[in-house]
Amino acid sequence: MKLMTNLKNILFTACAALLTQGCHMTADRGISTDGARHFFADRQIDRRVDSVMRLMTLDEKIGQLVLYSSHFTTTGPTLPKNVEEAIRNGTCGNIFNAHVPEYNRELQRVAVEETRMHIPLLFGYDVIHGMKTIFPINLGMSCSWDLQGIENSARVAAREAIASGLNWTFSPMVDITRDPRWGRVSEGSGEDTYLGSLIAIAMVQGYQGTTPEALASDTTILACVKHFAAYGAPEAGRDYNTVDLTDRTLRETYLPPYKAAVDAGVGTVMAAFNDIDAVPAHASQYLMQQILRKEWGFNGFVVSDFTGINELVPHGVAADSSLAGQLAIEAGINMDLQGDVYHRFLKWLVETGMVPQKQVDIMCAEVLRVKFALGLFDDPYKYHDLQAAEKEFYKPANLAAARDMACKSMVLLKNDKEALPIAAGKKIALIGPFADARLDLLGSWYGQGQADKVVSILTGLKERFGADKVIYTKGSEPDKDDRSGFAAALNAARSADKVVMAVGHPGFWSGEATSLTSIRIPAIQQELIREVAQSGKPLILVLLNGRPLDLSWESTVADAIVEAWYPGTEGGHAVADVLSGDFNPCGKLTMTFPRNLGQVPIHYDAKNTGRPYTPGQGEQHYVSRYLNEPTATPLYPFGYGLSYTTFEYSDLKVAPEKTDMKQPVAVTVTVKNTGKVRGTEVVQLYVRDLVASVTRPTRQLKGFERVTLEPGESREVSFTITSDAVGFYRQDMSFGYEPGDFKVWAGGSSDAALEGSFEITK
């Protein structure tokens, strides 16, 4: 009660007249002209922010712009003594990397009961694809094309994060990624802008809810869309590297997912490490002020990436850290994550006139506005229920959701000779360095997931097929030149009916600072596959990896290939579900798998060029291809994925065939399950603008729908093509569509052949 009295005294003594309408957030919120919903445009909150800021010193305002990281010892999290003191004196308003409920509650108590202003702390953490119950990596989940399932994964993660004392996650990562050499492709949703934008919305809504009232509840947390902008396009796929994009490409391909997150009400944005057009994002007024705030109307706050402000010095745009701070605050970076730049230099910059105090006031107000909207001033302890962990961590519903998403994320890349599914009673040889792995199944950024809670593939297969039906041998380490286990692996394969090999990359090969110059399975594992293949038994590869791989050799040796990604806590159960046929695989690739590394970066929506390669046209020399590669096509295209059943597409209809686009174009297609088992298909719609004032992609995804059909069942699937769907940035950089002819395709992947057309008239 003393705490609540202190908070109310602060608010009321500042300016009682401004608070006559009460102290509870209302449902009223601002709506931007483009339809974006701004969770933080609330006049009443603005009044409360003003009332607090009128009492704050410059040091305390700067403190709200400081985010320090916790450290961990064998006994738990710790903070340097100077940081604990900074909380007490109001010069540190936010903590990163602390996720023990009791510890966080005590820090919150210090902030709201022992400081002059009683302003609550934000507690941030990288909750990327789960907190305790770990879902598949984000790239894997995107292959489900299940927006509701993805939203629910974020909702589960939010509840477990809350039970850990957190109220802010640095997720979702919505960077469009087209180069599998880059290790952080595992954190995103792949190469497509349209799908990536929808997943961005789903993730934000899963974390924050869909209304301001939901955000202020005790079941949601603050989301942070990252990395703004275009961090996923580094030169040569090398992490932190330069990004060189035209403004048209930036706006058409890379910015829409961030914009979608802003429209969904995301509260915070994280700046990217990279530069764009020679300006680092942490110093880019074009990105942070012009686009994010002025064009999009964003009114949450922007946080730096870890020491991102400091890195303006090695970028070569600031001579020292103080000048880096000046560039960052002028650009609109509200909060300094672990850089200590604002804490050390911002007051001096204001006092010397290098930074106007008004800019600090604006930055502080934006942070406080988010804290009010989150409900922290009304109940600072709502994220610190010390009994919540027991109720939330690994509860059955969470595990069931993780298992379901792991199944939906898996992509069947090959299935010859009916190698899959494996019938009951068959003897299985399970071989490979990841067959009994646990931690590797979690992938990168696995929150506080525990290896001892992970269901290994070995455990999953034994539970499903019977321990006496599974012969396990490791065969080799992931990347160690040791063949001592090869003979046992071959013997196991010879004694089995079918061989399952769990191969790929260790979990720590994906994530930040894990760029690779090879995207092949390590050589020792390839040798193991070659050895085991001598058995002549049906060979099934289960891949564990966080990026598209070069499978040009493996695809010729294996009878079946299942892309399992890093499937998470319930990974072993999910693999068993798919291999047994208890779950019919339905995943579709969201990143193209190249034939070899020389093709990357590669993506389905490339432009035609003046000399395009045309598959099926025989020898072509002076065309856009590689001299030593007979085809310019990928091994497995975007949108591709097999099933244990088959689907047939027919009756594609487009209406009207001529339109002025005052009404959307309607497209219908019939899909039929022509196989023998129930299955789910992701029906995909692609569009091409044949002639425009600027070059356009050969096709672009503009719609999709997941449909589940019984054997012999047919269904008509409908799509609409709006004016925005055929719009683009024209020569003068205005956005809109142009009259002309368009093609549409519908099918089960980006190489769909069933086509129709329509014309936009003048």
- Kindly list the catalytic residues: 305
Q: Alpha helix (H) ranges present in 15-57?
A: 43-53
Give me the phi and psi of 706, to 5 degrees please: -85, 125
Residue 268, SS3 per DSSP: strand
| Residue 105 backbone zone (phi > 0: left; psi -120 to 50: alpha; other: beta) | alpha
Q: How far is 471 from 755, CA to CA, in rounded Å? A: 48
Nearest to 69 by CA among 328, 343, 313: 343
Measured CA distances, 287 to 280, 309, 535, 736 (Å): 10, 15, 58, 22
The helix (run of H) or strand (run of E) holding residue 245 is none
Measured CA distances, 461 to 422, 457, 608 (Å): 11, 6, 46
C-beta of residue 121 within 8 angstroms of C-beta of residue 111: yes
In angstroms, how far is the first alpha carbon of the chain from the final one? 68
Give me the phi and psi of 666, to 5 degrees please: -100, 130
Residue 680, SS3 per DSSP: strand
C-beta of residue 682 within 8 angstroms of C-beta of residue 586: yes
C-beta of residue 364 within 8 angstroms of C-beta of residue 64: yes
C-beta of residue 233 within 8 angstroms of C-beta of residue 182: no
Nearest to 503 by CA among 461, 545, 463: 545
Exposure of 671 in the CB half-sphere (CA atoms within 13 A): 24
User: Which structure tokens are listed for 300?
Assistant: 């949450």
Nearest to 45 by CA among 65, 27, 66: 27
C-beta of residue 192 within 8 angstroms of C-beta of residue 682: no
| Residue 173 backbone zone (phi > 0: left; psi -120 to 50: alpha; other: beta) | beta
C-beta of residue 169 within 8 angstroms of C-beta of residue 303: no
**Structure letter (DSSP) for residue 187:** G
Measured CA distances, 120 to 117, 219, 335, 539, 758 (Å): 9, 18, 15, 57, 57
